[in-house]
Amino acid sequence: MTSAFIPEHEVYGYLSAVGMKVPRHFLADDESKVADAPFEEGEPVVVKGLARDLWHKSEYGALAFCDFDSGAVAAKHSEMHEKVGPRFEWLGTLIAENVGFRRARHAPSEIFISLQRDQCCGAIISFGFGGLLTEDWARELKQSLLVWPTSVYTPEEALEELCGHWLGRILLGEARQQTALTTRDKLLDLLEKLWKLDELMANEQLGLLEMNPVVIDDTGEFVALDGVGLRSADAQEEYCPVPLQDDSFLNPRRIALAGVSAKAGSVGGLILENLRKSSLPDEGLLVIKPGVDEFAGVRCVPDVAALADDPVDILIVALPATRCVPMIETLCEQGGGAAVVYIVAGGIGDGADKEGFGERLSALIDSRRQKGEWCPAIVGPNGLGMLLSPLKLNSLFIPQSKLNVEFAPESDVALISQSGAFLITRLSRHSNLNLKYGFSIGNQLDMKLSDFMALVARDKSVRVLGIYVEGFVGGDACAVAKLVEQFRAENRHVIIYKGGRSQLGQTAAESHTGAMTGDYHVQKRLLHKAGAILTESFNQFNAVLKWMSAYPELRELGKLAIVTNAGYETVGSVDTLGDTDTDRLYRFGEDDRAALTAILERHGMQGLVAASNPLDLTPMADEDVYFDCVEAMIGFGAGVVMLGLVPLSEQLDTHQLTQAEAFAARLRSLAQSTGRLIGVVIDAGMPYQSYKSVFERQGFPVFDGMDMGVLGINVLKNSR
């Protein structure tokens, strides 16, 4: 159904259906019917000219306030018709009672409410300051609108947020020099009706209902004085193109590759080189290349027609758009050949697509799915490749000499990235980041982020899922949120960095992947409420991923303790916490201070080190001092200990590494036996990489600076 404007009198009908109060009103589609309006002579009324697609009546002279007089109102009907009719489809004159309402003193008290069944995030309720200055309030005030995705919020949760908002405080009389206009119970009743209205919108296929203003009348009831809307057919729920019971994606048995050449450094050649090192059997790899029987020791077939009777699980296409799209069309025409097609090339549905290949391929997929005809699941375009550790399978077109992929079949971490470069740079910079699965998903022309999440979700061994996404296609943000809720219900963790948040970022994302970035403010609330760990920078993402990879069973964070041998790290750690977050530090009691003082004295540090948190041990501390102090902090009640080791100290074993290995092993046993978190900071250069590796091998999150470790703790704490 094509979207269609909903005029005010019809909006009143929908509101009344859920029990919301609206003014008494009458629609006169002809001036002769004005006399039939149910108003007494002299009664204050509002006269409104209604027309299709007329959103702002006052701007076209289609709004008037007067006392009811049938002759005068009939004249206004004719006058408004003459003004509006030439531009819009005239519907008639709406005559409504002029509702008196309560006003706040020197503060706005009219309400704006919008319900939009958003293509990106499902049903969204926006609630904020209303009246003629609605847009000005939104422009000038940060967070002037409260936004509640109904799929993850309840009316009760919305009420708590509203009561803490400036508008809520005004309505409840809690702002300075205000008297209460309403009560919490009546606010909750209004919100419950909005949630019912959302259900009605779903049933009636309404895309938007907007009320401005909503006021509180003299009886204390909320009344919607004005309203407009749009009809639109609800998007049908989409299902993962790869059925969840099908192992063709996570556990493929046969893979074909199109687009190899003998040219050094060619994309197809690099992919083939990596694929040949997988644990697939010899017959599990196939090259599509006409004119030859084998290439680099791998059997070849001339074209995809050979796959019709001998299908593969995955077909990787490293060909330009001009050859890629016809190949997929041939697959569809023959009715089979590959369950999944992974498109490596760009230029299909992104900023480089000047020939309409993306539209052509999308039309093909949609047509075949609607008709129930066979169609492969499409990954990409612009996909860099994937990693499947159980098969030691690497389809990236990055040579091993540039990125030494370490497979980890027993890993409990997966990473899904819309950007292939983000995936490989995480692997490059985090030497101990071992992934069970890694996917570069590209433009999401067919398979969406939620489809990959659903595939990973069924492997319960994956406890931590990192996601980099530039845009949610269709209604995928809502689907992703539901999957996040599923992960969290199983104490599994989803870490998300959403790119393309700013206007410039959106432009960059669109040119890079053709992403539909949507409204990040809404998406952020949706995903945060669902339980995602949202990061606002790459540094935050990196830090959180390190913490969660090390402690995937994490349920809650305790207070933070910091033990270091560098004064600047004690200062920097508190700076990173910030003035409002210092309560995250574990606070010593007198018994704690006395016990730590005794430990320091036992190690000959009396008078040199003050028993405090953060604890600056000075460069005189060796591994035994460190261990005893960390153990003490945990014994006192700290839930997280940041351990700063500046390795230039002579007291630390940074070369032979014998004592370092034993120290790291003791720390690991301590963390495991107590269930507490220990993070390690080694702020030093390349000569100390081997020293860092000692702690990485024990599974600790190792950071280059105290600020990075504490930054990750900040994000995790705010996510709970």
Pick from 231, 263, 284: which residue ends a domain?
231
Whether residue 197 contacts residue 22, with contact meaning beta carbons closer than 8 Å, is answered with no
Whether residue 446 contacts residue 231, with contact meaning beta carbons closer than 8 Å, is answered with no
487 lies in the same domain as 600: no
Number of helices (H), then strands (E), in the chain = 21, 30
Q: Is 272 domain-assigned?
A: no
Q: Is 73 domain-assigned?
A: yes
Q: What share of the chain is helix, strand, coil (3-state, %, to 5)?
A: 40, 20, 40
Given this model, what pLDDT does residue 346 score? 82
Domain range enclosing 678: 560-718
Q: Is 380 domain-assigned?
A: yes
159 lies in the same domain as 62: no
Element (H, E) at 288: strand 285-288
335 lies in the same domain as 356: yes
Given this model, what pLDDT does residue 175 score? 85
CA gap 160, 655 in Å, rounded:
57
Given this model, what pLDDT does residue 517 score? 36
Cis peptide bond upstream of 614, omega within 30: yes
Element (H, E) at 338: strand 338-343
CA gap 117, 124 in Å, rounded:
6
User: How many Cβ atoms are within 10 Å of 55's Cβ, its own excluded?
Assistant: 11
Give the CATH number for residue 138: 3.30.470.20
Order of strands, sheet of 25-28, starting from the edge strand that comes earlier in the sequence? 25-28, 89-97, 44-52, 63-67
With vertex at residue 711, the alpha carbon angle to CA 705 and CA 712, rounded to the nearest 5 degrees, is: 105
Whether residue 521 contacts residue 534, with contact meaning beta carbons closer than 8 Å, is answered with no
Given this model, what pLDDT does residue 132 score? 64
CA gap 464, 534 in Å, rounded:
13
577 lies in the same domain as 543: no
- Structure tokens given for 65: 């306030």
Mean pLDDT, consecutive 10-residue stretches, the chain (720 aa), reads 79 97 95 93 96 90 95 94 92 95 89 80 82 59 74 93 93 89 96 96 90 93 95 60 79 96 90 95 93 94 95 96 96 96 88 88 94 94 94 94 90 96 91 91 94 94 96 84 93 92 42 44 86 94 95 90 86 72 84 96 90 90 96 96 93 94 98 96 91 95 92 85
User: How many Cβ atoms are within 10 Å of 520's Cβ, its own excluded?
Assistant: 16
Q: Is 337 domain-assigned?
A: yes
CA gap 7, 228 in Å, rounded:
5
- Structure tokens given for 459: 């492997």
187 lies in the same domain as 226: yes
675 lies in the same domain as 586: yes
Q: Is 570 domain-assigned?
A: yes
- For 406, phi then psi, to 5°, come to -100, 115
Counted domains in the chain: 4
Given this model, what pLDDT does residue 509 score? 38
The residues, any chain, with a CB within 8 Å of residue 539's CB and separated by 6 or more, are: 708, 711
Element (H, E) at 67: strand 63-67
564 lies in the same domain as 541: no
**Among 8, 13, 206, CA closest to 118:** 206
Whether residue 229 contacts residue 28, with contact meaning beta carbons closer than 8 Å, is answered with no
391 lies in the same domain as 523: yes
CA gap 253, 322 in Å, rounded:
29
Given this model, what pLDDT does residue 176 score? 82
Distances (CA, A) of 206 to 14, 150, 195, 323, 577: 10, 15, 14, 42, 46
CA gap 308, 327 in Å, rounded:
13
**Among 595, 582, 698, 578, CA closest to 637:** 595
Given this model, what pLDDT does residue 122 score? 61
CA gap 532, 152 in Å, rounded:
12
Distances (CA, A) of 377 to 247, 374, 426, 440, 470: 13, 10, 27, 15, 21
398 lies in the same domain as 546: yes
CA gap 212, 11 in Å, rounded:
12
Cα Rg of the chain, angstroms = 32
604 lies in the same domain as 714: yes
Pick from 523, 550, 577: which residue ends a domain?
550
- Structure tokens given for 286: 């196939």
User: How many Cβ atoms are within 10 Å of 221's Cβ, its own excluded?
Assistant: 16
532 lies in the same domain as 570: no
Element (H, E) at 714: helix 706-718
Element (H, E) at 497: strand 493-498
The residues, any chain, with a CB within 8 Å of residue 384's CB and separated by 6 or more, are: 344, 396, 397, 398, 420, 421, 423, 424, 440, 442
Q: Is 507 domain-assigned?
A: yes
Q: Is 238 domain-assigned?
A: no
Q: Is 345 domain-assigned?
A: yes
Give the CATH number for residue 84: 3.30.1490.20
Dihedral class, residue 474 (left if φ above 0, else alpha if ψ from -120 to 50, else beta): left
**Among 237, 275, 234, CA closest to 118:** 234
**Among 138, 158, 122, CA closest to 212:** 138
Q: What is the dihedral of CA 519, 521, 524, 526, to 10 degrees?
A: -80
Element (H, E) at 692: helix 689-697
Whether residue 468 contacts residue 541, with contact meaning beta carbons closer than 8 Å, is answered with yes
532 lies in the same domain as 579: no
- Cα first-last separation, the chain: 42
Given this model, what pLDDT does residue 118 score? 62
Whether residue 258 contacts residue 295, with contact meaning beta carbons closer than 8 Å, is answered with no
Given this model, what pLDDT does residue 507 score? 40
Give the CATH number for residue 421: 3.40.50.261
Given this model, what pLDDT does residue 163 score? 95
Pick from 515, 531, 550: which residue ends a domain?
550
CA gap 363, 341 in Å, rounded:
16
CA gap 287, 296 in Å, rounded:
10
